[in-house]
Amino acid sequence: MSDRVAIVGIAQSKFSARRPEVNYAEMGYEVIEQVLNNTGLEMQKDIDNSISCSHDIWDGQTISDIGITDVIGGHLRNEEKVAMDGTNMVLYGAIGILSGEFECSLLMAHTKMSQTNRNIVNNDAFDPIYTRILGFDYTSAAALQAKRYMYKYGITQEQCAKVVSKNLANARLNPSAHNMGEYSVGDVLSSPVVASPIHELEIAPDTDGAVAMILASEKKAKEITDNPVWILGFSNCYDAHYLGDRDLADYMSLQKAAQKAYNMAGIKNPRREIDVVELCDAFSYQELLWSEGLGLCGQGEGGRLLDSGATALKGKIPVNPSGGLLSGVPENVAGLNRAAEAYLQVKGEAGEHQVGNVRIAVAQGHSGFCGQHHCVLVLGKE
Amino acid sequence: MTKKEKELISIPITVNVPYRFAAGKYMTKFLMELKNNGKILAIKCPKCGRVQLPPRVVCAQCHVKNDEWVELSHEGTLVAFTIMYLPLTDPTTGKPHKPPFVYGSVRLDGATSVLDHLVNIEPTMDKVWVGMRCKVVLRPQKDRIGDLSDIRCLEPLPGQKKPRG
Ligand SMILES: [Zn+2]
C-alpha cells in the first residue's frame, strides 16, 4: 500500500475554439502519446489503471468512454469514466493508488464543446419537470448567482470585469490558452450583456481540447522522477440541486471540501500557506466567490481581495496565473487543467506564467450549475 | 381502488441535442476513398499486423499508432447475421428500416475485423447462412455523399447454395 500519491507527468492540448480535423479519440491520443513520451512510461508495462473524464451528452454517445478505450489503454484492461469535473478524477485516481490496488494510473479528460450547443446540453442538467421546461442553462443560473452575490455583499460589476482583465492578460503568457488579450474593465462591460449582470466577455468560451496526467504511488514515482509533485490533500462535497435550496451567495460545499483537503494536507492558515490557486472561473464572478470559499479571504471579501492586487500574477496569492477557464478550457476538462497548471507551478515549469517559487498549490473544480459540487486538491513539493 | 390514470401527470419532452461529429483523420480518409474511388481502406497495425475496420488512430491491443493503409476486397464471408423484426430507426433519416430485414457481419477478404451492414436478401433462414460469400454494393459514384451510406448494402455472390445440416 502506498502512503502518498504523486503526479509524475502531464500533457495538455493547445486549446482551440474548434478542432474539426480530429475526433475525440484522436484528440485524446495527442495528449496521451505526449505524456507517455515525457515520462518514458509504456502503456502495457507501466500503466495499470486508466481513468477518463467527459460527459455523455457533450460527447453524444452513451457511456462515451467507449470512444476512447483504444487510445487510453482500456482494451482488455480496466478503464473507468468520471462524468464530473476533472478534479474528481485526480481524487478518484489517488484513492485507487492509496488503496494498494494500483501503482500507476493514466488520467485523460476530453471534451469538444464545438460539436454541439452548450445551452441545450446544459439544459439537460435541470430537473425535467421543475426547471428544464423554462429553458434554464448554466449561464442563466449563473446570472442568478452573480446577482445574489453582488446584492448580498456589494460586489460590483467592475470587480467582476476586473477578473476578466486579469485572467485574459495572464492568458497571453500561457501557450495552451486560446482566448486572451488586453481588456480594460470598460471593454469588458461594453461587451454585450448575455444574462444581466453577466457580459459576453465574462463567460468562458466554447473550447475543444484534452489534458492527460499520470499518477503514481510513492515507490513508483521515485523510480520515474527525482522531483514528483505530491497530492497532499483532496476532498469533494455536494450541495443541493435545486437553486432555491441554498443561498447562491454562499459556498457551503466548497468550504467543506476545502477544509477537509487542507486538514489532510496539514494546512492551518490557507492565506499564508498557499502560494498559488487555479480555480474554475466559468463566469467572472465565480473567481471572487470561490476565492472566498477556498478561504483566501473572508465572506464577501472576494472583490476587495482582487482590488488589493493579491491575486494578480505577481501578487501575494496569485489566482489563475494560467488565465483560468476564461482563457478557454473545455467543460469537464477544466478541473484536470487546473490540477495540471497547479502541477506546473509546483514544478517551476509554468514558463512565462510561473508565479515564483511555489511550495503549495491549490486546484479547484466544480460540477453542475452554480457550483453545486466542488472538489479541492492540494499539491506540493514535499 | 386503484388511482385513475388521469390523476398522474407526466410531461412529454423530446431531448433533442444537435451534433456535428468530426469523422477525424482516419475515417475522413476512409470516407473520401470510398466516395471518390470506390475503395474500401482498412488500417494495419505495424506491430501485430491485424487489419481493422473502421480505421482508427491506435491498435488497442499493442497501443501503437496505426499508419499503414490496406485496400480490401469488395468480397468476403458472412460471419454472423440476424433477421430483424423490429423497425429500427435509421438515425441519418429518422425513418425506420422496413422489417423484416437482415443485418450481417462480413469479413472482407484481407481484413481481420468485419463490416456490419444491411444484407439485401430475402429474409428467410434458408436464404442466408454463416459462411455465405457476399459482396459490397456501393452507391453509383455520382450519388455518393461521403458517409457510410455510400455502401448501400451487402449482397450474396451468385451461384451459392446453403450447405446441408
Ligand atoms: Zn496491434
Q: What is the dihedral of CA A13, A123, A93, A361, to 10 degrees?
A: 70
Yes or no, beta carbons of A43 and B63 under 8 Å apart: yes
Q: Cell numbers 485574459 label which residue?
A: A168
**Closest residue of chain A to B13, computed from CA coordinates:** A128
d(CA A147, CA A131) in angstroms, rounded, equals 19
Q: What is the pLDDT of residue A273?
A: 98
Chain mean position to CA B82: 13
Closest CA to A170 of A191, A336, A162, A292: A162
pLDDT for residue A160 is more than 90: yes
Q: What is the pLDDT of residue A179?
A: 98
Q: What is the pLDDT of residue B93?
A: 80
pLDDT for residue B133 is more than 80: yes
Yes or no, beta carbons of A116 and B57 under 8 Å apart: no
3-state class (DSSP) for residue A291: helix
Residue bearing the bigger pLDDT, B7 or A98: A98
Best of B63, B92, B113 to disrupt the A interface (most A CBs within 10 Å) is: B63
The shortest CB-CB distance from B63 to any of A44, A114, A121 is to A44
pLDDT for residue B3 is more than 60: no
**What is the DSSP code (8-state) at residue A55?**
-
d(CA A103, CA A92) in angstroms, rounded, equals 13
Closest CA to A369 of A201, A136, A206, A170: A136
Cα B58 to ligand 1 centroid, rounded to whole Å:
8
How high does pLDDT run on average in chain B? 94
Shortest alpha-carbon distance between residue B13 and chain A (Å): 8
Average of pLDDT values for A305-331?
98
Yes or no, beta carbons of B19 and A116 under 8 Å apart: yes
Strand partners, B106: B78, B115
Best of A22, A110, A114 to disrupt the B interface (most B CBs within 10 Å) is: A22
pLDDT tens digits, one per residue of B59-75:
999 999 999 999 999 99
pLDDT tens digits, one per residue of A231-289:
999 999 999 999 999 999 999 999 999 999 999 999 999 999 999 999 999 999 999 99
Range name among A86-100, A189-203, B79-93 with the lowest pLDDT average: B79-93
pLDDT tens digits, one per residue of B81-124:
999 999 998 877 889 989 999 999 999 999 999 999 999 999 99
- Contact of A69 with chain B, judged by CB distance below 8 Å, is answered with yes
Yes or no, beta carbons of A60 and B61 under 8 Å apart: no
Q: What is the pLDDT of residue A3?
A: 85
Q: What is the pLDDT of residue B4?
A: 62
Residue bearing the bigger pLDDT, B164 or A43: A43
Cα B28 to ligand 1 centroid, rounded to whole Å:
21
Cα B60 to ligand 1 centroid, rounded to whole Å:
7
d(CA A197, CA A377) in angstroms, rounded, equals 30
Closest CA to A108 of A153, A65, A152, A165: A65
**What is the DSSP code (8-state) at residue B152?**
E
Shortest alpha-carbon distance between residue A27 and chain B (Å): 9
Cα B51 to ligand 1 centroid, rounded to whole Å:
9
Shortest alpha-carbon distance between residue B73 and chain A (Å): 26
ipTM of the complex: 0.92
Q: What angle do CA A300, A206, A330 make, to 5 degrees?
A: 75
d(CA A364, CA A377) in angstroms, rounded, equals 6
pLDDT tens digits, one per residue of A23-80:
999 999 999 999 999 999 999 999 999 999 999 999 999 999 999 999 999 999 999 9
Go through B52-88 and write b for each residue having 16 or more CB atoms within 10 A of its CB, e for each that does not. Answer: bbbbbbbbbebbeebeebeebebebebeebebeeeee
H/E element holding A159? helix A157-171
**What is the DSSP code (8-state) at residue A244?**
G
pLDDT tier at B6, thresholds 50, 70, 90: confident
pLDDT tens digits, one per residue of A168-189:
999 999 999 999 999 999 999 9
pLDDT tens digits, one per residue of A109-139:
999 999 999 999 999 999 999 999 999 999 9
Average of pLDDT values for A127-154?
96
Shortest alpha-carbon distance between residue B88 and chain A (Å): 18
For B161, phi then psi, to 5°, come to: -130, 145
Chain mean position to CA A260: 18
The shortest CB-CB distance from A22 to any of B25, B56, B60 is to B25
Yes or no, beta carbons of A60 and B19 under 8 Å apart: yes
The shortest CB-CB distance from A60 to any of B16, B17, B26 is to B17
Q: What is the pLDDT of residue B164?
A: 85
Q: Where do the domains of chain A lie, and which CATH numbers do they carry? A: 5-117+206-224 (3.40.47.10)
pLDDT tier at B1, thresholds 50, 70, 90: low
Considering only CB atoms, which residues of chain B are within 8 Å of chain A?
A: 11, 13, 15-28, 56-61, 63, 65
Cα A268 to ligand 1 centroid, rounded to whole Å:
52
Q: What is the pLDDT of residue B94?
A: 83
Domains in chain B: boundaries: 24-156
